[in-house]
């Protein structure tokens, strides 16, 4: 494995991110999207997410090898200390520690910004993602049965949860962007 460098996402990463994400959409139930978004759509998502949350990429061998970001869990104000996390690694770079490095850096940044809880939502079964989350201190918080329909079948999701900070009686507002 080449040395991995993690940096904030840039708009010109959109094409590489779209290419990494596409097979997860088209060839698996890991993503519940039905059509792979193009680079322009990804660029729009980057702009929307980074207005309030971190999005990072892993560079290996001079190219984007994976990405991770935090995002809105739910819109109600009481949820503002909770963030849903996402991580994807180029399938050609799987099992090389890139996902773990990305996720660790993302969780550190989310904690620095004052978020209290991180949630990973995993389409099941997905043993590699479960193992990654649990290796990083997430615990299983529940399963929702048959909530996604893709490829002719109903699929479960599991919620994995990790505390990023103590639950204070009067928590400071999390820092956005």
- Using the predicted structure, report yes or no on whether residue 116 has a pLDDT greater than 70: yes
pLDDT band for position 2 (50/70/90)?
low
139 has a pLDDT exceeding 80:
yes
Over the stretch 151-175, which tens digit does the pLDDT of each residue have? Answer: 999 999 999 999 999 999 999 999 9
Query: Within its chain, how far is the Cα of 127 from the centroid?
Result: 16
Report which of 118, 117, 114 is spatially closest to residue 172, judged by C-alpha positions.
114
> Cα separation of 138 and 159, whole Å?
9
Q: Is pLDDT at 1 greater than 60 in this prediction?
A: no
Q: How confident is the model at residue 177 (pLDDT cuts 50, 70, 90)?
A: confident
Q: pTM, whole model, 2 decimals?
A: 0.95
Tell whether the model's pLDDT for residue 15 goes beyond 90: yes
* 146 Cβ neighbours under 8 A, 6+ residues apart: 154, 155, 156
Mean pLDDT of 78-92: 96
- Contact by Cβ (8 Å): 106, 54: yes
**Which pLDDT value is given to residue 95?**
86
pLDDT tens for each residue of 46-82: 999 999 999 999 999 999 999 999 999 999 999 999 9
Q: Where are the alpha helices (DSSP H) in 8-151?
A: 14-26, 39-50, 98-112, 127-135
**In this predicted model, what pLDDT tens digit does every residue of 24-45 receive, in sequence order?**
999 999 999 999 999 999 999 9
């Amino acid at each position: 494995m080449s040395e991995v460098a993690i940096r904030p996402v840039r708009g010109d990463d959109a094409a590489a991110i779209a290419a990494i994400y596409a097979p997860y959409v088209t060839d698996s139930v890991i993503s519940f999207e039905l059509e792979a978004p193009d680079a322009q759509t990804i660029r729009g998502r980057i702009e929307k997410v980074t207005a309030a949350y971190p999005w990072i990429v892993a560079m290996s061998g001079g190219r984007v090898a994976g990405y991770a970001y935090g995002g809105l869990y739910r819109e109600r104000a009481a949820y503002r200390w909770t963030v849903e996390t996402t991580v994807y690694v180029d399938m050609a770079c799987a099992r090389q520690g890139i996902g773990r490095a990305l996720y660790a850096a993302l969780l550190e940044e989310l904690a620095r910004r004052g978020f209290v809880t991180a949630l990973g939502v995993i389409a099941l079964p997905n043993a590699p993602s479960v193992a990654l989350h649990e290796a990083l201190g997430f615990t299983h918080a529940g399963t929702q049965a048959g909530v996604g329909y893709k490829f002719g079948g109903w699929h479960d999701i599991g919620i994995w949860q990790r505390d990023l900070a103590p639950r204070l009686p009067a928590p400071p507002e999390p820092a956005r962007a």
